[in-house]
């Protein structure tokens, strides 16, 4: 069973701070990693699909990097805003389905 870990479990930052968190996974048999943002009472929203070692993706103030050799991906948020408060999930492909990590719950305080 593929084991996907995320750290930290939760994070509180002040508005304007930059922050980052980690998704860790076994480095063997890597196919793709997906990042999602899940705001309370909404649907999980796709952020990035990362496939190649060294990939860097950016969407506004959010960016992500991927290291498949050492088995981790970082998600960065620059200048956090209250609307960034959400649970950030990473998921890896295992066979034909996704295996999700437990998520990092981010709270941005105004």
Partner 1 sequence: GAGVSQTPSNKVTEKGKYVELRCDPISGHTALYWYRQSLGQGPEFLIYFQGTGAADDSGLPNDRFFAVRPEGSVSTLKIQRTERGDSAVYLCASSHSGGAYDTQYFGPGTRLTVL
List contacts with partner 1 (CB under 8 A): 4, 6, 31-32, 34, 36, 41-46, 49, 51, 89, 91, 93, 95-103
Task: Name which of 49 and 109 has its Cβ closer to partner 1.
Answer: 49
- Based on CB atoms, which residue is closest to partner 1, 17 or 94? 94
CA 59 to chain centre: 13
**17-46 burial by CB neighbour count: b if 16+ within 10 A, else e?**
eebebebbbeeeebeebbbbbeeeeeebee
Least distance (Å) between residue 36 CB and partner 1? 8
């Amino acid at each position: 069973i593929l084991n996907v870990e995320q750290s930290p479990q939760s994070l509180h930052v002040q508005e304007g701070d930059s922050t980052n968190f980690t998704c860790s996974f076994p480095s063997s048999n890597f196919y793709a990693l997906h990042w999602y943002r899940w705001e309370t009472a909404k649907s999980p929203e796709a952020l990035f699909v990362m496939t190649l070692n060294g990939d860097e993706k950016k969407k506004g103030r959010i960016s992500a990097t991927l290291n498949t050799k050492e088995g981790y991906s970082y998600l960065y948020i620059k200048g956090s805003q209250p609307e960034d408060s959400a649970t950030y999930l990473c998921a890896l492909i295992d066979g034909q389905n996704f295996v999700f990590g437990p998520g990092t719950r981010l709270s941005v305080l105004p």
